[in-house]
Structure 1
Amino acid sequence: MNSYIVMQGETYREEKRLGIVRAPKKDKSGATPHSWERVNSLQKGDRTFHYVRGALVAVGTIQEDARVQSEGTPQAEWLAPCEYLELDTPLEIASCIKVVADYLPLKYSAFQPDGNGNSGYVFPCNESLALVFLELLSSSKWRNIEQLEFVYDAVREEKYNSLTAWMMDSEYLLRLKFRELKSQFKALQLERWENKCAICGLDNLALLKAVYSKAWKDSNDAERIDPANGVLLCANHAALYESGQISFTGAGTLRMSAELQPLAGRYGLKKNLRIAADEANIPYFRWHRNNFFIEE
């Protein structure tokens, strides 16, 4: 299951009435905007958050995989049937942008830093962001995963004709996806780095963490379980990597922020230390350095 933000504006009422999400295959210049083409990625069971004039006004579930309609004509479009559930109280994005901002991807974000929407139609909504939306929207407090698992089968038997059922089911599936992909990722990192911190060699499994080079919110599902997209580090070094205070070159050479360099010895670090990186790590290490590393 994937989640998406649908920026509808004036098209909202008509698309809700028809129970669809739709976008032309070409714009007036003959180009295909990424936010239109993304309609073609919608699959049965995907979740949607519908944005109109500054606020989320509805949520939805895609009922069938997207299809092409009127192929070979100027009216060709991508279309996916969608069941809409309107919110009793719209969620104004500007009012919660400080909470939401940390979960927005660097590329293809639906929202600007001030909470205004970006131009486009369908944008990806990573699982972290979707869970934040659910928390902001929720009037019930289904925060315990064991409770969700207990009621899950009963909820699944219902048609999504209530917002509560939709939110419970969506949260369960989002957390399940998180758990499964991160478990796979950690297992791959343990194997890749031979159950030891890549920097200091610590081999206490309880203190090891598989950390992403390209953040979860910016990665697709394949990248989230790519062994090259991360490093196995002890708790201290993982915290430094995740906070951008250390990074690596494509060859695996350690880089430290200017602030950290005088304290390097305290953390068992030294200039030009190298980890056992390989060629597959290069694009991910580059992403981390370019987008997250605090400069030397």
Structure 2
Amino acid sequence: MRNDIKNWVFSCDMMSYNVISAFKELNEVDWGTDKNVMKGDYVYIYLVAPIKKIILKTKVVIDNIGENEFIDDSKFMLKEITKSEKTKYIRLKLIKSFSDNISNMLTYEILRQNGLNGPIQGPLILNNNKILWSYIDKIENKQKVDEIDKKEVEKIIELDKILSRTLGVTEKDALIKIRIGQGLFKKKLEMIECQCKICGLKSKKLLIASHIKPWKDCNDNERLDDNNGFLLCPNHDALFDKGYICFGDDGKIIISKLIEKNCYKLLNISSSDQIALTDKNKGYLKWHRDKIFKR
């Protein structure tokens, strides 16, 4: 196996070639390039304006196709494209189509914020840009995790039913929280920021995957949504879980009046604490403020 496999980004104009339908029907598509793309390399397909995002991942299965070996994909050509004898043609096999949730994190604007240095007009080698490649790899791994969400939710729901017949509510909820906190939900949060959201503690063994809106109150989509949780150290998890602290839409901490100010230092909290939030975090935090936070 090659140890110099490259990861490329190729651009495509949907006004000229319906690349999505072509891969969906044919699974393999022939592509002209003047770059030294080799068998075993991976190619991400980026759609130019007005879409402007990466939507497919493919793999090079043939790196030099003969003139009489082309796959007939003429029905997907919206404008006449003439194959040149001077151009090298490679065969790309579809590996995966990115979901809207993932491709929306691979837009031109977001890629620019994560290492992309300019417009994607031609073949681009991702390996040469460590920041950009690290970001795309992280987002791709997130899709892998998202794909097993439903199975994980089903398993925990079944466990919930079993424990409901054998244990009291408090014991059951404690065991469910352990299962969630040690499993997929924690891994998803670690992919975002592997430290306590408040104090910055970076010990994975001590960090707890803390739900904003509790498992028992969530629907299936909310239960393992990484926007519905923070990684917290044991101290801050207990304060947040019991409603003694919360956060406003600006990320500033809200501390319950039930906690005396002379305890702030011991609890490692300060009225000046502030965290970064996503828009979806804010929706869950509103629920927390309304239902859990002790005013």
TM-score by length of 2: 0.41
Bigger CA radius of gyration:
2
Give the structure-1-normalised TM-score: 0.41
